[in-house]
A and B are shown apart, each in its own frame.
Chain A
Amino acid sequence: MKPITDLMHWVETTPVAIFVSQSTYGFSALDMFHIAAIAVVFGTIAILDLRLIGLAFTDFSVTDLSRQLLPWTWTAFAIAAVTGVLMFTGQAVKYAGNFAFLTKLALMAIAGLNVLVFHFITYRGVAKWDSGVPVPWAAKFAGALSIAIWVAVAAYGRFTAFYMYP
């Protein structure tokens, strides 16, 4: 995978990467906002997922809960993504070889697919199961998969740091 290694070496030479790796507090500051943002992503998604699975918050309609929570989820996700990419640039080569980090990326890709399938297929029929009736199995599955993946993403994120600085 030489092209990828070369690319990672190049990433580390960019001005942004040099700032992140050389500044005394840059990485710590990014890390602080990254973790707080992930907490909000997980919490808001988990509330929606529990509703989809039917375990809690069934007194809210699915559309009402989505409308209230998703702007928070996406804002927090954007903060987590930007801070995450910036932290990555500082030590791109090392991260690209970190098993926990690669697993985290793969899990996030699956989470993305799950969102796409749910949004463009399952959610189109939401009017039929918005409130008062059980949600279809496809929506329950999407909720269960989502909550499981985000727990794992947070765990692999912690283990990424653990293997970077043991």
Chain B
Amino acid sequence: MWAGACASMMAQLSQWVGTLPISFAMRRIVWLIPTLQTLHILSIGFVLSSVVMIDLRVWGVSRSGTAIARSERFLPWMWAALAIATITGIGLMLGAPRSFRDDAFVAKLYLMVAATLATVALPLMLRRNACGGKDAGVPAQVVGIAALVLWLGATLAGRGRWIAGLLGG
């Protein structure tokens, strides 16, 4: 029910954005949307890969350095890539407003919030660890894998409009 209410709000927002002069102007530049999509997906790739690099150390697959050092090493890259993904994403919302008027987009926003929380929590948990974050405890390992799964879920939801159709939405 919540998702449904959000989706109809999104549908109204999407319709309104479509009437804005900037949206018209963007749609007239034929190469703009595919270019923004390319930058969007490449920066998402960097977000996912940065989290993979952190998780590899947190899960002990790699033993080089400490878990806390690994997260401090890759989180700035991850946040920078997320900033680019967000900016290009907002650009796509303006230039291709049809892309966000469904349940999948609402689900993507929820997944992004949860993924962000897990990503913020991870270094905090590593720092509070008794061994000074050299190796991660089980809770941090769970949060680490949750962050990756949630970011992956948000990525998939970005192309998940068909699922809404499948579920009869």
Which residues of A are in contact with B by a Cβ distance under 8 Å?
24-25, 28-29, 31-33, 35-36, 38-44, 46-47, 56-57, 59-60, 64, 67-69, 72, 151, 154-155, 157-159, 161-162
Contacts and interface: CB of A to CB of B under 8 A. Distances in A.
Contact of B162 (A28, A59, A60, A161): A28
B146 interface: no
A59 B166 CA distance: 47
Interface size class of B (residues with CB under 8 A): 20 to 34
Contacts of B73: 57, 59
Contact of A36 (B46, B50, B62, B156): B156
Give the interface centre of B38, B50, B160 by most chain A CB atoms within 10 Å: B38
A29 B53 CA distance: 27
Interface of B: 31, 33-35, 37-38, 41-42, 44-50, 52-53, 56, 61-62, 64, 73, 77, 152, 155-156, 158-163, 165-166
Give the interface centre of A42, A69, A151, A161 by most chain B CB atoms within 10 Å: A42
B44 A39 contact: yes
Given A32-B159, A35-B159, A68-B62, A40 B45 contact: yes
Contact of B38 (A24, A33, A154): A154
Nearest to B62: A68
Contact of B53 (A31, A36, A68, A154): A68
Contacts of A36: 152, 155-156, 159
A72 B64 contact: no
Contacts, number: 97
The dominant DSSP class at the A interface is: helix
Nearest to B57: A68
A155 B38 contact: yes
A38 B162 CA distance: 20
Contacts of A67: 62
A159 to B, nearest CB: 5
A64 B52 CA distance: 14
A29 B155 contact: no
